Structure 1
Amino acid sequence: MKFIRNIWYATMWAQNLPAGRLATVTVTKEPLVLFRDADGKPVALMDRCPHRLVPLHLGKLCSDGQRIQCGYHGLEFDTSGRCTHNPHSETIPAAAKVRAFPAVERHSLIWVWMGEQPAREELIPDFSAFDEDNNSRVSRRESIELEVNYQLMTDNLLDLSHVSFLHDGVLGHSNMVRGDIRVEQEDDTLYVKRSTPNVAPPGMFDLMYRHDGKPVDAWADMRWNAPSCMLNNAGVCPVGGKRTDGVYILGAHILTPVSEFRTLYHFAAVRYDNNISRTPEEQNEVVEKLSSLRRIAFEEQDEPMVLAQQQAQVNAGGLGSLQPVLLNIDAGPVRARRMLDTMRLNADSSAATAP
């Protein structure tokens, strides 16, 4: 599988990179070691010492916070990846360097630019709803590792018609199957909007809305940015009413490919239900239930189904070996894949014409 390189990838939630610690993550098959420098800014280096090729995360961060020491033979590398100390000689070989990747902390996440072209921070998708100053409204920021291809999981998230079956009773039900679907593209951003008017609220939103099962208008609008950064606006409101009269959730669904068959899934949610009166105990109960339901949906329902889909393709000869029948509900996933294909072609074209 060919991964897009000149783009930002979310590696972890910023809370999981405390000062003075080394963290390791693999992105598009590239092992990275991450840490914070003396000013608290994130640093990302190739997690491989050029001497014996051992992972640098098995070493330690030097006391000045500006150098990482290999745990095998003590070579030290600064935040640019340059070897600054060879304890075995006054000479430092020219090849004793580690690739450094641009790293930025934005929207409570650590983003790393994996490509050779200059990093452009304006290309980081907007997940400002999850900024640190919104802590009182943001659920737990979590990450799980899935044994599935990131594009297959993206297809799953861009086609939310499956909630009526796979997540029946929690995120959807049988009367929500035939929703109205609109696919809109604005430059490099894709929107897949689904609405189902005058239906009973699905379990999760009935819990939030306290509507006693009365009919509502429901919606689920997914925003997609390459390669697989998604923001879902989903909620319910009175039939024929305004969305602001109901409740909704902004959900971050950010997929980072580790390898062809492994994906890091970063997720969190912001609830907008301020018009519902609850005691502090009831608020905590809702938060815990929503967090639990999300993990069940991802780990016990989505992953096994997509994993079975993946295995069927692998058994038939590999990903892409089978051409699935397309339905109207596939408009969003198909458009996103075409946009990715265009990005890959443009990258190949640029590489071919480079001096």
Structure 2
Amino acid sequence: MTGRVTGLVTGLVTPRVNGADLARRFHHEVVEPLVRGEFGDVPLVAGRFGGGSDVLGHDDDVSADHDWGLRTTLLVPAGPPVARFLQDALPAEFAGHPVRFPTTWDGSARHRVEVATVEDFVRARLGVGPQDPWSVADWLSFTGQAVLELRAGPVFADDEGRWEELRRRLTWYPDDVWRYLVASAWKQLEQELPFVGRTGSRGDDLGSRVIAARLGEVAVRLGLLLDRTWAPYAKWLGTAAAAAPGGRVLPALSRALRAQDWREREDALCAALEDLLAHQRDVLGGPARATGPFHDRPFRGVVEHLAEDVLAPVTDPAVRALPLGAGSVEGFVRAVDVLVRPDLRRALAAGLTDGTAR
């Protein structure tokens, strides 16, 4: 077990022990002294990287029931048997927490200091190495969660500056790719916004709600794109959006999802899109309005050419050759077993580029 805690409070739950802070203490007081003592001045990169709510700073008392505890990452050059050494050298517990414990992916009780090379650790999340040239297809294959597993957690050691260099490279998308992703989000909204009203007007309230919910996620992701903020996986998507400037659209989106009538639902969605466009005008420019009448029907749609106008300044031929509306892999794939596999994401991204951006 990982030191499960009880006595949860109602409302906002705060952790009794922050996982990242616990990992920092464990590294500096135990792991690093042992490794330095055995292997000398071997260059280290260390921190709380990878998966886990504590990497994003969101762990609470509920998080402690599985896969939580003394988890750190130690990246070293290939060769020294650091992992095997730590298995024998680490103590049984630290700060009242067991050092060796099972997880949902490994039922054996072993230490959770993940030891790897920088190259292998990065490649396991992005599918490419930290020094490789990254193509348009590579950028489209990255998920925000994969990037956050490298960028979000605290750094405990970076002896040669390699982690700082990687994080600087992962600050944000290249500008042309960014514009393409924003344009694709608008295209997705354009393609289905009128269906919120059309389905509702036919008495299909469930269909209207399903479409509204899907467009709500597109809108949330668009807000994060405009804020230049990497999107975490689904559990923390709303939390990330609420903390970002684009989170100002969330009240309107909440009204859309609560609405009992399709007209109210459509009005709230359109209000959220107008707020997003107002934000976009500050960073990328845009027209005066995001939505308007849909032909002669009593429904609303995204105004014509909004997506195309966002894409117009793009000069990279590999980006211009992409199908507008597809976006990144995480924008059109919802299967978790695909999103966590860099090889599958890269295969899908290569299909999008059709060889033009490899």
TM-score (norm 1): 0.25
TM-score (norm 2): 0.24
Structure (1/2) with the larger helix percentage: 2
Structure (1/2) with the larger strand percentage: 1
